[in-house]
Amino acid sequence: MIAVLLAVVFVDDKDACTATRPVAAVVQGDPGPAPAERGSPAPSGERTYPLAAGTYSVTDHFGTRGGSHQGVDYAAAAGTAMFAAAPGNVVASGPASGFGQWIIIDSVDADGSPFSTVYGHIFPDDLRVKVGDVVKAGDHIAAVGYNGEVQPPGPGGAHLHFEVWPGGRLTGGSPIDPESWLGGAATPKARAGGKPSTPSPAPVCEDGFGTQGGQLADGVVPPELDPWYRKAGSLCPQITPSLLAAQGKQESGFQRGLSSPDNAQGLAQFIPTTAIATAPDGRPYIVDADGNGAASVWDDGDAIVGQGRYMCALAAIIDGWKADGRVQGDTPALALGAYNAGEGSVLASGGIPNQIPRHFSETQPYIRIILDNEPNFRAAAATGRFVPSPSSPVGGQIVDAARQYLGTPYVYGGGGPQGPSNGGLDCSGLTSAAVHAASGGAVTLPRTSEQQWSVGPEIPIDQAQPGDLVFGEWGSGGPGHVGIASGNGQMIHAPQPGDVVKEAPVQSGMRARRVA
């Protein structure tokens, strides 16, 4: 299917990587420039202390508490301005167990290696960024609080808990000592009116690393194209490597040198005017991604990264329209429709294009074929893609489905029937994903462990079989934790922030239910 792309110059600043978002000042006067929205950072070695000089003192160091303290604590008055320590993409902004509310920013260093910075104990009203925002080093992102588990409780315990994770907080990295990492970093200083400095350049959209699910399966695309689909699928959370690969298969069958009757060219079948149209970061969609000195639709890397850049731009526009109630539907499907028929057709249709005969004969089949084929390009363990067997016991298949997620990062609120979200799973997200997959979609569990306790009959814990759910950490509202019995006194569970899905002994005091 040949893409019909329109030349578009994006001028709506809410979708531009370098745009700003007005945010009301909440502490210490004028907070300075607000973070930009959407996109990913350019590689940068720039680092800035997360608090201004003279506003904090270090009260706990990395590696204390028997090695369990994964960051550094900066005591400061509640409401003290908190700044981004590096330019990057906000991948978490909201509740986190023990942290009250947290912020995670994914960044890329000067060598092109990914890392995350983590900011904890924030109150909801003090969050100044949301998932998808792009920040510069020194941007005002939040205020110091005492939310979550702090000692002493209340304002006397106000502090910033700050972590640094090479490899990514939600993507399998490991923490390091933030104080060593910050050695030699700049310290934000309040200007007149309390305005912090923001020394970093505006970020661009083409670089980044994968914070979203849907990773590419091994061996499903030509090996020389594999790294480009992975890179292009890391530019925004709406568009995954597997979706781009399925789209590339439909566009060109991974064959180079193709040109359609509509003059769509190359692996991604770009119309020339679209290839040179201005993207939200002010550059053309086709950039010199492979570094050979020329940007060309005929180069593998340039074409595939351009495909990702254009799909992400379309997804951002569509998300804005959805927020305004102007269109309805799944963002990836609508982005595919816009790629094939132009985003104007999505807006005119209020969703999947349906205005002219070609929308029915070409665009709608194009979308359907790609979405149907996408699972064939998706790594099974990345999203829990599991094919149940009608002849096997459901309980054992629940365990098998759960084992696909071993090593997946714990993410508060992450996961559901369709697998991980926001880069991982929490305890009830894991159980929901495994049971839904193993039952062939016949059983959809409610979202929380407390709600899941109401499903199915209770089984004596000493009679629990593989696939039964085991519940623990009891409180007045019910169980605070849930896992999946895997046999021999073991369970598979997503334990807590900073950990990953693992198999471990069933905890003392747990109770069991049979849900399938």
Catalytic residues: 427, 481, 493
Per-residue model confidence (pLDDT) at position 215? 63
The SS3 call for residue 322 is: helix
Domains of the chain: 18-181 (2.70.70.10), 226-377 (1.10.530.10), 384-513 (3.90.1720.10)
Strand boundaries in 30-113, DSSP class E = 36-37, 57-60, 72-75, 81-83, 88-96, 100-108
Number of alpha carbons in the 13 Å side-chain half-sphere of residue 137: 23
The answer to whether 438 and 510 have CB atoms below 8 angstroms apart is no
Q: Tell me the pLDDT of the chain (516 aa) as tens digits.
A: 333 333 333 222 223 232 222 222 222 223 334 444 433 444 445 889 999 888 888 888 888 877 778 899 999 888 899 999 999 888 889 888 778 899 999 888 776 778 899 999 999 889 999 988 888 888 999 999 998 888 787 788 899 999 998 888 887 778 888 887 887 777 775 433 333 333 232 223 333 333 333 467 778 999 999 888 888 887 776 788 889 999 999 999 999 999 998 899 999 999 999 999 988 878 899 999 888 899 999 999 999 999 999 999 999 999 899 989 999 988 899 999 999 999 999 999 999 999 999 999 999 999 999 988 887 887 644 444 466 777 788 999 999 889 878 878 888 888 887 677 766 789 999 999 899 888 877 888 998 999 999 999 999 999 999 999 999 999 988 999 999 999 999 999 999 888 888 999 999 999 999 998
Q: What is the pTM of this model?
A: 0.43
Residue 110: which of 43, 65, 56 has the closest Cα? Answer: 43
Per-residue model confidence (pLDDT) at position 219? 86
Residue 118: which of 175, 35, 36 has the closest Cα? Answer: 175
